[in-house]
């Protein structure tokens, strides 16, 4: 990576910090090593060990730790304690992924949580963040120019591919438009496998509803998303497990994912705040994780208690969180075709 791209990365991070600092979000710095993680059957993690100095008799003591795939597990503990809107720019780690085009085992994440907000509020905030990046794009590209000089210049027209407002498309509409069927009718009638075969996808036998949904989405819907403007896919199906509030219709979850130039950039929930629902999620996902994970990890069986009322009787606060991949954002912002070109030290493929 050349020094100009390093400056651009630093400029993007500076705009992000200015944006959230001005809105009274608290920047936090949480551990990269965790003694346990949120179970997510869709991803793999990295394991390491902490070795303590030898005790009496020369016996070594050690225990496993895992590199965080996101800072969520720590940030929600801070939310329960401090009830403050938070943001963080940090390294995250996901194993068993290729390096180069859209993935890197080590990547940079922006994660932000807004108190007393839902997923629609977070979408507005994200649009405002992108608008700030567009307004200050000349400054990001030319950090040697002082702010007062920028104000006197004609702002460069940014790439429309990142300009808000975002296109908003419900997942059900996206399936109807590009896969050619009613998602919820097919899911409820057990017809997703037949639809996948009609689309020429030939799914292996025994796939569940969520896996069939993913297969069709990846091959029939995602490639057809508009590429000239950011696209927010809204209201994901509730049968896809996640820690998001359920929609009023009972079929959907209050969740969106953001795409630009066909690349997934961000994921957002109205965060689940009910302790029993969190416990049920941990139990269900934990069983899948323990049975199939390439790198098993410890799951905190008491994590759900974070969402119980605090000693003053206050419930876990209503909030919405967004996780945004910064390497991908910079890739789109600079017109590159792979995130390797945005990383100071890309990881070599096998």
Q: Which residue has the tokens 């992000």?
A: 16
Q: Is the peptide bond before 226 cis (omega within 30 degrees of 0)?
A: no
- Select the more confidently predicted residue: 101 or 306: 306
For 213, the token pair is 């949904």
| 120 phi, psi to nearest 5 deg | -70, -35
**288 has pLDDT over 60:** yes
What's the pLDDT at 152? 41
Using alpha carbons, list the distances in angstroms from residue 13 to 10, 135, 160: 5, 14, 21
Confidence of residue 1 (pLDDT cuts 50, 70, 90): low
Mean pLDDT estimate for the chain? 92
What's the pLDDT at 159? 58
| 87 phi, psi to nearest 5 deg | -145, 160
Whether residue 209 is contained in a domain is answered as no
Whether residue 259 is contained in a domain is answered as no
**65 has pLDDT over 90:** yes
Whether residue 204 is contained in a domain is answered as no
The total domain count for the chain is: 1
- CA–CA separation, 149 and 145 (whole Å): 7
Confidence of residue 142 (pLDDT cuts 50, 70, 90): low
**275 has pLDDT over 80:** yes
Whichever domain contains 323, its CATH number is 3.30.930.10
Q: Is the dihedral of CA 15, 19, 20, 22 positive or negative?
A: positive
For 286, the token pair is 């934990």
The helix/strand/coil state of 37 is coil
Whether residue 45 is contained in a domain is answered as yes
Whether residue 26 is contained in a domain is answered as yes
**87 has pLDDT over 70:** yes
**226 has pLDDT over 80:** yes
What's the pLDDT at 241? 95
Adjacency order of strands within the sheet including 167-170: 26-27, 86-93, 106-115, 319-325, 263-270, 252-260, 231-237, 167-170
**284 has pLDDT over 90:** yes
pTM to 2 decimal places: 0.92
Confidence of residue 214 (pLDDT cuts 50, 70, 90): very high
Cα 330 to the center of its chain, rounded Å: 15
Q: What is the mean pLDDT of residues 315-337?
A: 95
What's the pLDDT at 297? 97
Can you name the residues that pair with 233 across neighbouring β-strands? 169, 257
pLDDT digits (tens, 9 = 90+) for 329-348: 999 998 888 999 899 999 88
Closest of 238, 218, 234 to residue 281, by C-alpha? 238
**135 has pLDDT over 90:** no
What's the pLDDT at 151? 46
Of 55-64, 149-158, 206-215, 338-347, least confident by mean pLDDT is: 149-158
Cα 137 to the center of its chain, rounded Å: 24
pLDDT digits (tens, 9 = 90+) for 71-83: 999 999 999 999 9
Q: What is the mean pLDDT of residues 96-125?
A: 94
Residue 26 contacts residue 84 (beta carbons within 8 Å): yes
**146 has pLDDT over 50:** no
The helix/strand/coil state of 25 is coil
pLDDT digits (tens, 9 = 90+) for 160-186: 689 999 999 999 999 999 999 999 999
Q: Could you list the residue range(s) of the whole structural domain that residue 276 is in? A: 3-51+61-162+267-342
- DSSP designation for 229: S
Residue 170 contacts residue 177 (beta carbons within 8 Å): no
Closest of 188, 315, 308 to residue 249, by C-alpha? 188
Using alpha carbons, list the distances in angstroms from residue 339 to 90, 98, 263, 299: 17, 12, 11, 31
Whether residue 73 is contained in a domain is answered as yes
**144 has pLDDT over 60:** no
- CA–CA separation, 72 and 327 (whole Å): 19
Closest of 288, 308, 286 to residue 299, by C-alpha? 286
What's the pLDDT at 99? 80
CA terminus-to-terminus distance, the chain = 21
The helix/strand/coil state of 92 is strand
Whether residue 151 is contained in a domain is answered as yes
Residue 257 contacts residue 233 (beta carbons within 8 Å): yes
What's the pLDDT at 350? 65
What's the pLDDT at 139? 72
What's the pLDDT at 148? 42
Whether residue 100 is contained in a domain is answered as yes
């Amino acid at each position: 990576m050349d020094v100009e791209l390093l400056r651009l990365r630093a400029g993007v991070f500076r705009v992000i910090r200015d944006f959230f600092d001005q809105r009274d979000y608290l920047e936090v710095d949480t551990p990269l090593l965790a003694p346990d993680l949120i179970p997510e059957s869709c991803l793999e993690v990295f394991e390491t060990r902490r070795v303590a100095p030898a005790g009496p008799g020369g016996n070594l003591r050690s225990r496993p730790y895992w590199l965080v795939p996101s800072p969520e597990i720590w940030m929600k503990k801070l939310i329960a304690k401090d009830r403050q809107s938070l943001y963080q720019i940090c390294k995250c780690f996901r194993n068993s992924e290729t390096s180069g085009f859209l993935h890197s085992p080590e990547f940079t994440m922006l994660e932000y949580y807004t108190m007393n907000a839902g997923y629609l509020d977070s979408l507005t905030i994200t649009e405002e963040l992108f608008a700030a990046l567009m307004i200050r794009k000349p400054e990001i590209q030319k950090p040697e120019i002082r702010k007062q000089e920028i104000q006197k210049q004609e702002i460069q027209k940014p790439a429309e591919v990142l300009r808000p407002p975002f296109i908003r498309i419900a997942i059900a509409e996206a399936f109807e438009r590009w896969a050619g069927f009613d998602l919820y009718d097919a899911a409820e009638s057990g017809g997703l496998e037949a639809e996948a075969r009609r689309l020429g996808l030939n799914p292996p036998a025994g796939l569940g509803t969520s896996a069939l949904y993913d297969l069709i989405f990846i091959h029939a819907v995602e490639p057809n998303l508009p590429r000239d403007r950011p696209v927010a896919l809204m209201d994901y199906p509730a049968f896809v497990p996640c820690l998001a509030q359920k929609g009023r219709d009972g079929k959907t979850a209050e969740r969106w994912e953001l795409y630009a130039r066909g690349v997934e950039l961000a994921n957002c929930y109205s965060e689940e705040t009910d302790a029993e629902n969190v416990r049920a999620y941990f139990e269900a996902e934990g069983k899948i994780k323990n049975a199939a994970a390439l790198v098993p990890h410890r799951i905190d069986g008491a994590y759900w208690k974070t969402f119980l009322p605090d000693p003053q009787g206050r419930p876990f606060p209503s909030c919405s969180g967004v996780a945004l991949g910064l390497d991908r954002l910079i890739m789109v912002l600079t017109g590159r075709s792979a995130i390797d070109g945005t990383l100071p030290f890309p990881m070599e493929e096998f």
